[in-house]
Structure 1
Amino acid sequence: MKHWLAGIFMVALITGCKKKVETIYPQIQAISESVYASGVVKSVNQYQVFPKNSGIISSLKIKEGDFVEKGQILFEIANPSAKLNIENAELNFENASIKSNQERLRDAVIAKDLAYQKLKNDSLLWRRQNALWQQQIGTKVDQEQRKLAYHNSQTAFQSAEIRVSELRRQIKFAAEQSAKNVALAKSIASDFAVRAEVSGRIYSFSKEIGEMVSIQNPVAIIGDAKVFMLELQIDEDDITRVKIGQKVLLTLDSYDKQVFEAKVNGIDPLMNEKTRTFTVKATFIVQPQVLYPNLNVEANIITAERPKVLTIPRNYLVDEQFVLDKDGQKRAVKVGLKDFQRVEILSGITAQDAIQKPAL
């Protein structure tokens, strides 16, 4: 009797310990495949401000958080010689201007006119002397002297013409050169006044009057005050699957449990050799109301979508190419798209075929 009861107990124990087999039927539903990306929010036209000259800040026109217009002065760098250079260039310009050289030009024109009058007079005298000589009046020497005087006057007039033309050229050249020197001096001086390259907001600025700035180090960050974009990092293994125009689903740490949509609008072609990633840029479809640069982003770029396909859970797939039927036998299947939870079945089973969950 005791042996019989013990047998029944062992059978019940074995039966109770046997794992229950889980079976399901494939489902028709939508599936999408995506590439994971992480990144940050950036303001449109965001850039770092670098001064064009090193030096000490002499005046501040803005503070962190201010809104600025393109071309507005942000701060000025001390440059005592700049003002003197401009004044010196302006003095040279005034001295070299055409207006300031009118007297010189007038003297040259008068000299040319006198030379012309002398040329006409000597021409007349030579013709008269030549006519007299034809009548055998006067001497050969008189005729030669009149002819020589005429030729000398002709040469003198041509020289006077050349001097006037050359003087005009020199005055024009000097005026243009001095004007360019004034513009150059002002341009150099303007480089000591650092201006905003875009209209937007000062997102970062921590310098004070009297502090040193250099051309190697940025002193501020400026970007659009209202429009933001995404800068995402994509692993080199996934970059060939990313295309411009693809949809992006993203979450922000500052917006808990909310999912936002964006669209890929740019792919930087050069890989970062240190991180082995590519930078992909995207724009919001509907932008959140409040955003700031450098907010953390996690995103999935949708690389493919199917609206109604046969799918099974990924953990029901064996060796990426088999499933277990209801009797536990392997059946080959052809798979398509995969997401984190499900996989598309292209062939091998139907929605009426029950499949088992593989044992772990």
Structure 2
Amino acid sequence: MNNKVLISLFVAVVVLVGGFALGKKQGWWGKPKGAEVTAATAGPASIVEKVSASGKVQPETEVKISPDVSGEITELYVQEGDSVKKGQLLLRIRPDNYQAAVSQQTAMVGTQRANVGQAQAQLEQQTANARQTELTYRRQASLFKQKVISQADYEAAQAAYNASQEQLRAIRAQITAAQSNVRSAQAGLTEAQKNLNKTTIYAPVSGTISKLNVKKGERVVGTSQMAGTEIMRIANLNNMEVRVSVNENDIIRVQLGDSADIEVDSYSTQSEKFKGIVTAIANTAKDALTAESVTEFEVRVRLLPDSYRHLIKTGPGGHSTVPFRPGMTASVDIIADRQSGVLSVPLAAVTTRSDSAAAKTDDSNRGRS
């Protein structure tokens, strides 16, 4: 009796489990809860396509200043952040060696000019001697034809005449060489004077000292020797831009003149947003560090002054303080395309079923015929 009961119970359990599995498979119970959606009326809206990138704030114009000559900085008249005018004296390099070179070349010019004068005096003397020798030769030639003098006397006069002419040509060549030496020495003097003048460095443009790499007493290398020492940079901080790297998949959507929304990290806590415009797009991709690096192109976005004018402050001396500094990090959304009046619904009203998106429509408000 007990065995029959156990068998019956076992069969009942098997039937229940099988029925549950079949019902689950057929979807009789245990269906997942449907996705919640928001009902909204489809209507026209503006659709904006953006290309996002990040980069650094930099001045549009920045001049790197390196000395043309080498030496020790004896005077430094500016500090980083100072405003300078074009032609303003920035620093001096010790001029001693260059002054000595000028003195040496000046002496060389004087020596070569003296050589020219000496050679010209010799030319005058030799010219007079050559005239006298020529007269003697002509007279002896006439007498020889008349058979008044011997062959030996005639040949002696002829030899003296030829020698005087040869000496005359030699002195003229000496004068030409001396004059060439004068020109060479004069060129050396001009170069030495230029190098001496280059020991004082003036601002080539007006702007702000955005970077200062040297101090008084340091030695710098001139550009005549490889790249030279970069001593400072002068930038126009009134015109700033953001230089961003855009992926090659997005670069074809960016055009010159596209507007942009810019957020600078330094002002993120103040919820400041700035406007910009694309002013330059690189034609060549940036150099990749590795073979696996993403291909990117540099895009320059100008910060429009009207969007940050309220942040400009007037400092001591009436100088305006620009709110941005070179090297600040910024995020940029470039408006690649904008379409108005596009029929659209909120994303919350769209569901995905069987790997396809669909928007459920409500026909209750349709007009009846």
Alignment partners' CA distance in 2, 1:107 and 1:213: 44
Alignment partners' CA distance in 2, 1:301 and 1:53: 45
RMSD (Å) for aligned C-alpha atoms: 3.8
Supply the AA of the counterpart residue of 1:261.
Answer: K
2:140 — aligned with what? Answer: 129
Whether 1:239 aligns to 2:251 is: yes
What secondary structure does 1:244 align onto? Answer: coil
5 Å matches for 1:297-316?
297-316=330-349
Q: 1:60 pairs with 68, 71, 76, which one?
A: 76
Q: 1:292 pairs with 324, 332, 342, which one?
A: 324
Q: 2:298 pairs with 261, 275, 279, which one?
A: 279
Alignment partners' CA distance in 1, 2:65 and 2:356: 55
- 1:116–1:300 Cα change, 3 Å: same
Whether 1:165 aligns to 2:176 is: yes
- 1:321–1:278 Cα change, 3 Å: farther
- Asked whether the equivalents of residues 45 and 198 of structure 1 are also in contact (C-alpha less than 8 Å), the reply is no
Alignment partners' CA distance in 2, 1:154 and 1:219: 62
- Cα drift, residue 224 of structure 1: 1.2
- Cα drift, residue 60 of structure 1: 3.1
Whether 1:36 aligns to 2:82 is: no
What secondary structure does 2:345 align onto? Answer: strand
- 1:118–1:308 Cα change, 3 Å: same
Alignment partners' CA distance in 1, 2:236 and 2:308: 15
Alignment partners' CA distance in 2, 1:54 and 1:133: 73
Structure 2 unaligned spans of 5+: 1-32, 222-226, 313-322
- Cα drift, residue 100 of structure 1: 5.0
5 Å matches for 1:154-303?
154-184=165-195, 187=198, 190=199, 196=203, 198-203=205-210, 205=212, 209=216, 222-252=234-264, 254=267, 256-268=270-282, 269-271=284-286, 273=288, 276=294, 277-285=296-304, 286-289=306-309, 290=312, 291-293=323-325, 294-303=327-336
- 1:47–1:117 Cα change, 3 Å: closer
Alignment partners' CA distance in 2, 1:53 and 1:105: 33
- Asked whether the equivalents of residues 23 and 326 of structure 1 are also in contact (C-alpha less than 8 Å), the reply is no
Alignment partners' CA distance in 2, 1:131 and 1:261: 104
Alignment partners' CA distance in 2, 1:184 and 1:282: 41
Alignment partners' CA distance in 2, 1:179 and 1:222: 29
TM-score when normalising by structure 2? 0.68
- 1:126–1:30 Cα change, 3 Å: same
Alignment partners' CA distance in 1, 2:100 and 2:287: 50
- Cα drift, residue 67 of structure 1: 0.5
After superposition, the C-alpha distances for 1:14-53 in whole angstroms (9 at most, x for unaligned) are xxx9987643332112212111123343233246767789
Supply the AA of the counterpart residue of 1:108.
Answer: A
- Asked whether the equivalents of residues 250 and 299 of structure 1 are also in contact (C-alpha less than 8 Å), the reply is yes
Alignment partners' CA distance in 1, 2:84 and 2:128: 68
- Cα drift, residue 106 of structure 1: 2.5
2:103 — aligned with what? Answer: 91
TM-score when normalising by structure 1? 0.69
Percent of matched pairs sharing the same residue: 21
Alignment partners' CA distance in 1, 2:68 and 2:184: 31
2:39 — aligned with what? Answer: 23
- Cα drift, residue 219 of structure 1: 6.8
- 1:292–1:213 Cα change, 3 Å: farther
Alignment partners' CA distance in 2, 1:133 and 1:307: 118
Alignment partners' CA distance in 2, 1:170 and 1:217: 35
More strand, by proportion: 1
- Asked whether the equivalents of residues 89 and 202 of structure 2 are also in contact (C-alpha less than 8 Å), the reply is yes
What secondary structure does 2:302 align onto? Answer: strand
Q: 1:322 pairs with 346, 354, 357, which one?
A: 357
- Asked whether the equivalents of residues 350 and 360 of structure 2 are also in contact (C-alpha less than 8 Å), the reply is no
Alignment partners' CA distance in 1, 2:178 and 2:92: 42
1:150 — aligned with what? Answer: 161
